[in-house]
Amino acid sequence: MMRKKGFTLVELMIVMAIVGIMTAVTIVSLSGARDRKAAEGEARKFAAVVREVQNYALTGKQLGTGLVTCSVGMNAIASGATSYGIFYTYRSGDDCNTSASNAFVTNTISNGVAFSSAANAFSFSVPRGEINLGGNPDPIPIQLSKGSATYTVCIYRSGRIEDVNGSVCP
């Protein structure tokens, strides 16, 4: 009796089920990685903007003529928000304590990432770049999240700015 070589229908169905399960596991793990990468990328961009604001204060960058800048800072960081503002505070008369502020620019974060923690306004003084925490704790933890992925930008009183994986500053 001759036997034909090949696979039975049951064997093919088992292999297809195994391949389907492996594909589903891969897709689920890749979607989590996509959220982590988006949150990490936006946290790094936000940390770079904070460093840029700090640099504006250290260099004494001016927006207009005839104005004396007292500080440069950030505000409007609210939980669930996707935008934040950068502002300049100008001297009014001889005193920086009675100054007027002017919004410089509003930035947005993208890729479905949003702030998951709120922070009061904070600023860097001109010309030394010393931080005014504005009622925030030291360090200021600003969390950005997408899905279950969270990255935190930590702004320390010493002037150090870092982005870390997770929701806690070291």
Q: How far apart are CA 38 and CA 44, in angstroms?
A: 10
> Could you tell me which CATH number the domain at 13-165 has?
3.55.40.10
Looking up tokens 């002017």 gives: 102
pLDDT at 115 over 90: yes
Cβ contact 50:158 at 8 Å: no
Contacts of residue 157, defined as CB under 8 A and 6 or more positions apart, other chains included, come to 131, 133, 138, 139
Closest C-alpha to 161, from 112, 124, 114, 116 = 124
- Token look-up 């009622």 returns 135
For residue range 18-47, list pLDDT tens digits in order.
999 999 988 887 778 888 999 999 999 999
How far is the CA of 25 from the CAs of 19, 28, 36, 38, in angstroms?
10, 5, 17, 20
Between the alpha carbon of residue 140 and those of residues 46, 66, 68, 131, 136, the distances in Å are: 13, 33, 27, 11, 6
Give residue-wise pLDDT tens across range 39-87.
999 999 999 999 999 998 998 877 766 778 888 888 878 888 888 888 8
What pLDDT, on a 0 to 100 scale, did the predictor assign at position 39?
A: 93
**Contact (Cβ atoms closer than 8 angstroms) between residue 155 and residue 140:** yes
Select the more confidently predicted residue: 44 or 100.
Answer: 44
The residue length of the chain stands at 170
User: Mean pLDDT over residues 100-116, rounded?
Assistant: 83
Measured between alpha carbons, how far is 54 from 129 in angstroms, rounded to an integer? Answer: 6
